[in-house]
Chain A
Amino acid sequence: MSAMRYERPGTLEAAVALLSGATGAARVLAGGTDLLVQMRTGRIEPQLLVDCKDIPEMTAIVADDGGFRFGAATPCMALVEHEAFTKACPGVIDGVKLIGSIQVKGRASVGGNVCNASPAADSVPALIAAGAVATIIGPGGRRETRVENIATGPGKTSLARDEILVSLLVPRKPPHSADAYLRFTPRTEMDIAVVSAGVNLTLDRDGVCRKARVSLGAVAERALLVSEAGAALIGTTVDEAALEKLAAAAAAACKPIDDKRGTKAYRIKVAGVLARRAAQIALDRARKVN
């Protein structure tokens, strides 16, 4: 039996030093809901696990200039149970709530969801639409990047082997703004997205859309930020014609796979429908908030 090391550092610096000093495969351990399953099936055999849940910054949820910053290792249930967070970030919560059962959400983190880099990860399109910014730490210090720059393909990220995703900032929304996330699955619960869509939009006082970000999941190697789909809404009252254009732009951006869960043509069609429905929910929510 290979001896696998387990460390639980109390500071980010110590965690980075452990990863930098590792000779074999090393992994950050957050909730373990992906990692432990991958270890059990033999897909990965790390020699070092760096459990980051004792690092206070990695599990804190703090209001930040009207937005929210939360630690990358915060369990999803802690976000779901945080009233102010759910109110400020409804689209992100739509995504987070879909991550497995209550038990899975008791452990699973958004940081793990992002870093596991599944194209179907449910928090990711919602975060991208919300314009979320990731803080990453490595031996050279801290850096920031948008969430859409993290996953590079299935299971692959732009993080170096000794970098850690520390926290995610969901920026403050301007007045009359809201977001929403929807996924389509063959079953109603406990399933992997075949297509998913996140939409975040801002209206002006006359109800005209001034900003819109649209992101699609599970229709390409990684979640996509579809600027043409956002552009279709800007300058409109998000009427029928604008929603039609948004759906067409969303469908055009897809580069999906064919598998038993859905054919290419099906995923492309559903992507347009879902983007449109998510936009409608975001619109209804934006009209309700001031």
Chain B
Amino acid sequence: MAKHHVTATLNGSPVEFLCETQQTLLEVLRDELNLTGTKEGCATGDCGACSVTVGGRLVCSCLVLGAEVEGKRIETIEGMASGTELHPLQQKFLEHAALQCGICTPGMLIAARSLLERKPDPTEEEVRYWLAGNLCRCTGYNKIVDAVLAAAGEMRRA
């Protein structure tokens, strides 16, 4: 069968790609569109390294088919900074040393941004609950939570 021809909006720009039915959005992003910022940790929905938003909803791109995003709006880590200016979340992750190997970081950032869009002033508990689907093997989470809370504070003041 012919491949699917999909058109969508990726980080604000139109994008087109061809994919097989079984190809996930994660595979399309990394292998067809060469956007390797989104990571694969497990490919089964458990780790959150592949987090992106589709139509404004936070999802695991390893559990979405490429064919399903026809006409949809997709946001990935590549769209987070404006040119060379980092997003406040990215800046605070650096300041708080909220990453070591960095594999979980793009997913953490996308998930955290999705939280702050809904809740600009989250409690620590709300941050921990929202990020429970993002696993990190390095940091022990505290620095990540601190960075998210600090970024939330800065974004509220801005």
- Chain A interface residues (CB < 8 Å from chain B): 1, 3-6, 8, 29, 31-33, 36-37, 39-40, 49, 51, 53, 75, 77, 100-104, 106-107, 189-190
Contact = CB atoms under 8 A, between A and B. Distances in A.
Interface string B43-79: 1111010010000011110111101101000000000
B32 to A, nearest CB: 16
Interface string B127-140: 00010111000000
B103 interface: no
A104 B4 contact: no
Contact of B64 (A49, A102, A107): A107
A37 B45 contact: yes
Contacts of B45: 33, 37, 100-101, 103-104
A101 B24 contact: no
Given A102-B133, A189-B132, A5 B43 contact: no
Interface of B: 1, 4, 20-22, 24, 43-46, 48, 51, 57-60, 62-65, 67-68, 70, 111, 114, 130, 132-134
Nearest to B4: A6
8 contacts: A32-B63, A32-B65, A49-B65, A51-B68, A102-B58, A106-B58, A107-B60, A190-B132
B133 A39 contact: no
A77 B55 CA distance: 13
A18 B4 CA distance: 18
B63 A4 contact: no
A101 B132 contact: yes
* Binding site secondary structure of chain B: mixed
Given A29-B68, A32-B65, A77-B57, 16 more contacts: A5-B1, A6-B65, A36-B62, A36-B64, A51-B68, A101-B45, A101-B134, A102-B130, A102-B133, A103-B45, A103-B51, A103-B59, A103-B133, A104-B60, A107-B59, A107-B63
For the complex of A and B, the 8 pairs showing the least CB-CB separation, nearest first, are A101-B133, A3-B1, A4-B21, A106-B57, A6-B21, A106-B59, A103-B60, A6-B67
Contacts of B114: 102
A1 B44 contact: no
A36 B1 contact: no
B48 A33 contact: no
Given A5-B1, A49-B21, A51-B68, A101 B57 contact: no
Contacts of A36: 24, 62-65
A31 B133 CA distance: 16
Nearest to A49: B21
A37 B24 CA distance: 11
A37 B64 CA distance: 10
Contact of B133 (A6, A37, A75, A100): A100
A3 B23 CA distance: 12
B57 A75 contact: yes
Nearest to A81: B118
A209 to B, nearest CB: 33
Nearest to B107: A103
Nearest to B54: A106
Contacts of A190: 46, 132-133
Nearest to B133: A101
Nearest to A45: B22
A39 B48 contact: no
B26 to A, nearest CB: 11
Nearest to B115: A102
B44 A40 contact: yes
A179 B114 CA distance: 30
A80 B135 CA distance: 23
Contacts of B60: 103-104, 107
A44 B69 CA distance: 23
Given A102-B130, A103-B48, A104-B45, A37 B21 contact: no
